[in-house]
Structure 1
Amino acid sequence: MAAVAPIKVDAETDELVTQAAHFLGRPKKYIVDAAVREYIDNHRAEIQIGVKDALSRLDGSKSAAVSALTGFSSADLDDLGGFSR
């Protein structure tokens, strides 16, 4: 059985999901699951580009990992104290 993890959406989105679930006779989780899977399928190429870009910037160092996660350049990280070598 798959783990269940709550997600948060704004009130307007929740209302849309609620209405869709009601009129389609499906649970809300089915609507959200289908919508997310469809979105990812439709944007798979963009996601792959992002993954490849992130991986190309990683060189195994802490600095590269933190830079990829935060968006700070290595110079920015050095200005903030850097990492001990």
Structure 2
Amino acid sequence: MAAATAPIKVDASTDELVSHAAHFMSRTKKDVVEAAVREYIDTHRDEINAGIKTALGQLNGSDAAAISLVTGLSLDDLNDLGGLPE
């Protein structure tokens, strides 16, 4: 099965850097971006995993916990705003 592609928007200066790198490395812009993203994720994997573990630790399976995580509001703040239906 062919992989789907999705557009990524970057500012003009980043697009220019990618274009120059692709040209001088005889690669496509897609190849340069893919390699850069993979390298970035590999470099920051421990940080990413720590963030995932923190997020999962805040979830207890309730709607209130999920909304708290997404909004940044504490469970007490949500209750002060009227709480959530059971």
For 1:45, the aligned partner's letter is D
Match of 1:17 in 2: 18
Match of 2:81 in 1: 80
Amino acid at match of 1:66: I
- Identity, % of aligned positions: 62
Task: Give how far 1:77 is off.
Answer: 2.1
One-letter amino acid of the structure 2 residue matched with residue 62 of structure 1? D
TM superposition shift of 1:68: 1.4
The Cα offsets for residues 15-50 of structure 1, whole Å up to 9 and x where unpaired, read as 100100010011101000000000000000000100
Partner of 2:9 in structure 1? 8
Q: Bigger shift: 14-23 or 72-81? A: 72-81
1:40 corresponds in structure 2 to 41
In structure 2, runs of 5+ residues without a counterpart are none
Q: CA RMSD in A?
A: 1.1
In the alignment, what sits opposite 2:56?
55
Query: What are structure 1's unaligned runs of at least 5 residues?
Result: none
TM norm structure 2:
0.91
1:66 shift after superposition: 1.2
Count of matched residue pairs? 85
